[in-house]
Structure 1
Amino acid sequence: MTTAKPGARDGRVLVVGGYGAVGTTVTSTLAGWLPNRVLPAGRSAARARQDGGVRVDVADPDGFRQVLDRLGDVTAVVLCVEPSDTGLARACLERGIHLVDIGATRRLLDGVAELHDVAAAAGATAVLSVGVAPGLTNLLARRAHDAVGGAERLDLAVFLGSGERHGGDAVRWTVQGLAEPLTARPLRTVLPGYGARTVHPFPFSDQHTLRRTLGVPEATTRLCLDSRPLTAALFALRRAGLLRAVRRPVARRMLIEAFRRVHIGGDGFAVRADAWRGDRHAAYALTGHAQSRVTGLAAAYVARELLTGAPPPGVHHIEQLPMLAGLPEALAEHGVTLHRPGGWGQE
């Protein structure tokens, strides 16, 4: 993962949200593989001038189209922020520009998936569910699903370090998720390096995606933070219905600001996928540090594979592309550890 592969498709890569917590990693990593071919983009004109990037506002799809047309040689776009609709994705795919999307909102992912025929007609490939969760969770679920010969049930667990400083989109998404109604029961599971934890149902998009892409009847993703007291307090408030107030803008802004200020714990993360078919069971896990950094590394790796491989045109989630199945191993040089079945078990 240190150099570009031979035969890399020409053109530049535009990293939208390239100055944020994830985007800076995407930009710096891709720049090491593809010198002079990576452009960061964001809302700040001053930052764009300083870093040799371009100004892009995701709330202005028409302006984004103008940027693409003015640059003229953009081959791939990595979308590190969530727009309000699918306008940016459509602008890329209509022009035959590859797209890597780290978004995690189900509504937006489903909307981009509907552009499959648009992308295929233009010879472009979009990869969705790129990051840690969704992303690495999808890939682990695929492995576990295949290991049992087709899962009847998937249980995904996400453990996040509450001491890490996450980007604004990630914080907003988490706060909104706390207001969603409960859909399943909590579960005790064992996470390598962190022991037994109680994980709570949370509206990650992977559980919905995997039901469709893998044909699994039942899939649930659950969350816990490394701070046990903070996890217990948050989900107790949720069960009591006291977090529904965050649906109101003022209350939502207050909780987002509180999350940005509270940094209890470390920056370690873990994800685990369990697949069940009758009495057959398989489980895989990944551990690492700095979830935002690893999300950026995953997005950079996917973008490079699109530029140097032969991806099928259309819109695909990460677990649907065999060319990306080795991502967990590829991230090992960045401190991400793949844990195969055995030894750490299920409570």
Structure 2
Amino acid sequence: MDKDRIVVVGGYGAVGSIICQELGYKFSGKVYAAGRSLERAERFSRETEGRVLPMRLDISRPVGPEELAGVKLVVMCVDQQDASFVRACFRSGSHYIDVSANISFLAKVEALRAEAERGGSTAVMNVGLAPGVTNLLALEAYRQLDRTEAIEITILLGLGDRHGQAAVEWTVDNLGASFEVIRQGRAETVGSFTDARLADLGGAIGRKRAYRFPFSDQRSLPITLNVPNAATRLCFDSNAVTALLAGARALGLHRLLGLKPLRSAAVACFGRVHLGSERFAVQVEAIGEKDGRAATAVYRLQGRQQSELTARCALDTSEAVYLAAMPPGVFSIEQLLDWQKMSRLNQEKLEAEVRS
């Protein structure tokens, strides 16, 4: 059987549906919106007039090779706890794109590099807004300097935006996370909503206090760009909400999210209560030297509805992997692509400067 199908897991969700819609126009009849609910997949398929086909797929159980027969590319838009499904993709020779930010899951997929190479599969990790756009902008900033000592990433999310269920759950579940980062070339454990830093995001947004959060770009960039330090911090458009979460972390209140009723209430609150705007902002700073002097290269991107930009990054990556011959293995997005190769993303307006 020819391998020409594209399976988007979570394909009827907030980001996955955008990916399916656009790929469905270009590869009609070859794109499948997959998930546990066949009913939702079928309803979505009807909305696309059959350009996207429905598929029931539960990745929480073992997936046999017959379910991936004919599948050339899998685009993953839901979080996973273990890499069993990714391993099944590699064994079937399917390419794999991961639209998630889970720093611990990235390590699990990286451990399967040899299996990907044996299966002839290309896996692209760190695809989306953060990580994804952040990785590509980090590469651009890095290229502006002669030597880079640190990458500092700041992400602002609007609380008025309609975030997908998976994104909301991931954010809530990581409010009290501890995770490993690279500092001065060595592994170090830090906590979410600690290690504050003021960042000037420019324009009407101005200065914001942002805190560490476990986006996976800060794990990959020290390796792919060979820099000794990388940090990714998060804030919201509401200063009060950002400060509240940092205060709750400092007081140890994040531990209460281990109680299912409180965790469910927090997810519902984030998902349904829209206190701010739909805007987002990303700033990437490469700090180092240029022409023998201290310098900082800064790239900024602002917009509205971050799900749209996440989907655009995934679409550019999906088309590149589906249509071109890529080397087998496990890669971070900036190892295979750059901003100029992203036909949708590079239409966005970037602010860039080098300060010395």
TM-score (normalizing by structure 2) = 0.86
SS in structure 2 of the partner of residue 232 of structure 1: helix
Q: Which runs of 5+ in 1 are unaligned?
A: 1-8
Of 344, 349, 355, 1:337 maps to: 349
User: Which segment is superposed worse, 278-287 or 301-310?
Assistant: 278-287
Q: Is the 8 A contact 1:29 1:297 kept in 2?
A: no
Which letter does structure 1 place at the counterpart of 2:123?
A
Number of residue equivalences: 329
- Structure 2 counterpart of 1:56: 57
CA positional deviation for 1:277: 1.3
Which letter does structure 2 place at the counterpart of 1:222?
R
- Structure 2 counterpart of 1:6: none
Question: Given the superposition, is the C-alpha separation of residues 239 and 327 from structure 1 closer, same or farther in structure 2, using an over 3 Å criterion?
Answer: farther
Question: Given the superposition, is the C-alpha separation of residues 341 and 10 from structure 1 closer, same or farther in structure 2, using an over 3 Å criterion?
Answer: farther
CA positional deviation for 1:108: 1.0
- Structure 2 counterpart of 1:224: 235
Q: Is the 8 A contact 2:201 2:281 kept in 1?
A: no
Q: Is the 8 A contact 1:192 1:285 kept in 2?
A: no
Cα distance in 1, alignment partners of residues 12 and 135 from structure 2: 26
Q: Is the 8 A contact 1:43 1:56 kept in 2?
A: yes
- Structure 2 counterpart of 1:284: 299
- 1:44 maps to 2:37: yes
Cα distance in 1, alignment partners of residues 340 and 107 from structure 2: 25
Which letter does structure 2 place at the counterpart of 1:11?
D
CA positional deviation for 1:316: 0.2
Q: Which runs of 5+ in 2 are unaligned?
A: 46-52, 178-190
Of 109, 122, 129, 1:125 maps to: 122
User: Which segment is superposed worse, 174-183 or 14-23?
Assistant: 174-183
- Structure 2 counterpart of 1:208: 219
Where has structure 1 moved over 4 Å in runs of 4 or more?
none
CA positional deviation for 1:273: 0.6
- Structure 1 counterpart of 2:209: 198
The Cα RMSD (Å) is 2.1
Q: Is the 8 A contact 1:30 1:38 kept in 2?
A: yes
Q: Is the 8 A contact 1:31 1:38 kept in 2?
A: yes
- Structure 2 counterpart of 1:13: 6
1:7-65 Cα distance to aligned partner (Å, 9 max, x none): xx9601001100101100110111122222111111112123342311011211336x4
- 1:317 maps to 2:317: no
- Structure 1 counterpart of 2:134: 137
SS in structure 1 of the partner of residue 14 of structure 2: coil
- Structure 2 counterpart of 1:98: 95
> What is the correspondence of 1:66-81 to structure 2 with a 5 Å cutoff?
66-68=66-68, 72-81=69-78
1:134-157 Cα distance to aligned partner (Å, 9 max, x none): 111111111112211242111100
CA positional deviation for 1:325: 3.5
- Structure 1 counterpart of 2:245: 234
Which letter does structure 2 place at the counterpart of 1:27?
C
Percent sequence identity over matched residues?
38
Cα distance in 2, alignment partners of residues 157 and 34 from structure 1: 36
Question: Given the superposition, is the C-alpha separation of residues 14 and 174 from structure 1 closer, same or farther in structure 2, using an over 3 Å criterion?
Answer: same
Question: Given the superposition, is the C-alpha separation of residues 260 and 300 from structure 1 closer, same or farther in structure 2, using an over 3 Å criterion?
Answer: same
- 1:23 maps to 2:24: no
Q: Is the 8 A contact 2:316 2:343 kept in 1?
A: no
- Structure 2 counterpart of 1:3: none
SS in structure 2 of the partner of residue 326 of structure 1: helix
> What is the correspondence of 1:136-175 to structure 2 with a 5 Å cutoff?
136-175=133-172
Of 315, 320, 337, 1:300 maps to: 315
CA positional deviation for 1:236: 2.3
Question: Given the superposition, is the C-alpha separation of residues 132 and 120 from structure 1 closer, same or farther in structure 2, using an over 3 Å criterion?
Answer: same
Structure with the larger strand share: 2
Question: Given the superposition, is the C-alpha separation of residues 57 and 140 from structure 1 closer, same or farther in structure 2, using an over 3 Å criterion?
Answer: same
